[in-house]
Structure 1
Amino acid sequence: MRRKQVGIVAALIAVSAVALTACGQGSAQSGTATPVQEQAQVQETQAAAGESEVDFLRGSANSNKADKNTGDRAPEAAAPEVKLKWVELRVANAGGLEPAVVNGNGRTIYWFSDDPVNGGVSNCNGECEKAWTPITVAKGTKLFFPGIKRENIGFIKRKDGKTTQVTIGGRPIYLFNKDEKPGDIKGQNVGNKWFVINPEGKRATAPAEAPVTQPAPPAAGAKPAGSITFFTGKNFDDFSGNNFATGVKPEAKCGDLRGGFQSLTLDGAAKIWSEPGCKGKSAVVTDDVRDTAALGFPNGAQSYIRA
């Protein structure tokens, strides 16, 4: 009789272990990775949820006339809904690292090596997120992304199951609370786990290690651009010094710009020239250009036409 009871208890323990694993507790304790197919489904669901919440807008916060007292530039004491009006992810030089990604206030953006790439989770919670602020969005948030490919931007749900965090290249992104001004990179290499992020979701490096490269050749059959935002500064800079941006709708006739523009972001194909009147050197572009010097336009683009 006693042997029978022992056998029954052993069976019950085995069933309980299976149940715990099915609930996720067993896998969490053992560190077992989520199956690839299940992980992909989680990411797809979370990405879809994030995309439905935000409005993706070409150009910058300035060129889209975002309220300068809200979003990334809201006062520290502003209400959460004010801070979530808009978020900007833009290419820049951050403390000598280029290309790097900064927010609409010029603050450097980081990734955390403990977060699995495309894993759908952030491992920076509790005390960690007090020092490393997750970049989040909410329903109705406007997201500006000059210089970053749309497909490199994604979303995950944070541990609370409600807050949506932005990712670049599958990596959740953060600000560091010890960075005080644009260009600060005090979070770089902290604990050998935190790094400035580039537009592809990798480590930002010094320009000597990541030189400006020629844009990819135009894709066959690319649709004509419906809008272009030109920036007087390279790296889509329209807020430092005297730099500014201008948005245009290219047509089938030449359009002139007021001087030379060093970078541009667009949503299709356009042709630019080095001189007014669509004269001089020309180039057809279908992707964002962070430095027109790479196209052989040292004085910037000065005219354009729809391609």
Structure 2
Amino acid sequence: MRRKQVGFAAALFAVGVIALTACGQGAAQSGSASPATEQAQETQQASAEQSDVDFLRGSANSNKADQNTGDRAPATASPEVKQKWVELRVANAGGLEPAVVNGKGLTVYWFSDDPVKGGVSNCNGDCAKTWPPITVAKGTKLFFPGIKRENIGFVKRQDGATQVTIGGRPIYLFNKDEKPGDIKGQNVGNKWFVINPEGKRAVAPAEAPATQPAPPAPGAKPASSVTFFTGKNFDDFSGNNFATGVKVEAQCGDLRGGFKSLTTDGAVKIWSEPGCKGKSAVVTDDVADTAPLGFPDGVKSYIRA
């Protein structure tokens, strides 16, 4: 579902003199930041700069984003074309899950030299060539299936660009990753790590603590629209996977087969069989995998909760 345009606070910081080690081609070995001279260490009050970034539920595919722009634009495309849209979705990245990937399925990283919620990126110059920051501009559409809106933020970079953050950490790609599933940047220099949807280090599923889906929030508003995905982790571009967006009504709605993940803007009741029969559950937040809810074959019908 399309969210209203949301303004974000662009934190502007003036900082003291620090020498940082180079992070150009050597970033693949050291992971250090490029040299940067920081200004006097006075924190200026953040200005509430109105942005025209559009936050949209669902994926790039389900929102019918132009496949020749945004994250999937050719390498030779202009920055304006590349910033038409940005997608950040939950996925399995090289065995790490949940991890965050972009609209091409490339792995997203964080840098330990960046202060958490510090409002600054310490990867600039040559470092940013090796670790391209994920940036937005006015008019960018930002798709974020599986990531809580409150976990997404922004910082101003040295060059004036606006960089996306997850959990207060500026996020990057790695220029040596070539295809979905590559995690060649993981643990580079013991400073670069694959990020999870909360802004923490992504780990292998066996290492992750077992979690149960959160119970529905008391008084949650009924869903008006839901996007269902045939693949888990909001996957609608691998193999034969696809997504379908539905308007949720007070009467039962059937789906064409089993859908194994979903994004929702409110409370929806899901069922394991057509006709709102079989096992049921009420969800009020995005679900990356319906199996832990007791839906191994996916959701087959739904109704407004």
TM-score, normalising length: structure 1: 0.86
Preserved contact between residue 272 and residue 282 of structure 1 (Cα < 8 Å): yes
SS at match of 2:97: strand
- For the aligned residue pairs, the C-alpha RMSD in angstroms reads 2.0
Is 1:255 aligned to residue 244 of structure 2? no
> Distance in 2 between the 1:152 and 1:66 partners?
23
After superposition, residues 189-208 of structure 1 pair within 5 angstroms as 189-208=187-206
Q: Could you tell me which amino acid in structure 2 is paired with residue 104 of structure 1? A: G
Q: Could you tell me which amino acid in structure 2 is paired with residue 28 of structure 1? A: V
After superposition, residues 149-188 of structure 1 pair within 5 angstroms as 149-160=148-159, 162-188=160-186
Aligned residue in 2 for 1:88: 87
Preserved contact between residue 14 and residue 41 of structure 2 (Cα < 8 Å): no
SS at match of 1:128: helix
Deviation at 1:34, TM superposition (A): 5.8
Preserved contact between residue 86 and residue 140 of structure 2 (Cα < 8 Å): yes
The counterpart of 1:209, out of the listed 207, 210, 215, is 207
> Distance in 1 between the 2:18 and 2:198 partners?
32
> Distance in 2 between the 1:55 and 1:132 partners?
25
Q: Which runs of 5+ in 2 are unaligned?
A: 1-12, 20-37
Identity fraction in percent: 82
After superposition, residues 225-244 of structure 1 pair within 5 angstroms as 225-244=223-242
Aligned residue in 1 for 2:31: none
Q: Could you tell me which amino acid in structure 2 is paired with residue 304 of structure 1? A: Y
> Distance in 2 between the 1:158 and 1:226 partners?
37
> Distance in 2 between the 1:33 and 1:240 partners?
49
Q: Could you tell me which amino acid in structure 1 is paired with residue 54 of structure 2? A: D
SS at match of 1:235: coil
Preserved contact between residue 136 and residue 163 of structure 2 (Cα < 8 Å): yes
Preserved contact between residue 87 and residue 141 of structure 1 (Cα < 8 Å): yes
Name the CA shift for 1:301/1:81 in 2 (closer, same or farther; >3 Å). Answer: same
Higher helix proportion, which one? 1
After superposition, residues 1-307 of structure 1 pair within 5 angstroms as 27-28=16-17, 38=43, 41-42=45-46, 45=47, 48-49=48-49, 52-160=51-159, 162-210=160-208, 213-307=211-305
TM-score, normalising length: structure 2: 0.86
Number of residue pairs aligned between Structure 1 and Structure 2: 275
Q: Which runs of 5+ in 1 are unaligned?
A: 1-22
> Distance in 2 between the 1:220 and 1:34 partners?
44
- Runs of 4+ in structure 1 over 3 Å off: 27-35
> Distance in 2 between the 1:69 and 1:193 partners?
33
Name the CA shift for 1:306/1:141 in 2 (closer, same or farther; >3 Å). Answer: same
Once the two structures are superposed, residues 34-86 of structure 1 have per-residue CA deviations (whole angstroms, 9 ceiling, x without a partner) of: 67xx47x43xx3xx53x723000000000000000000000000111100000
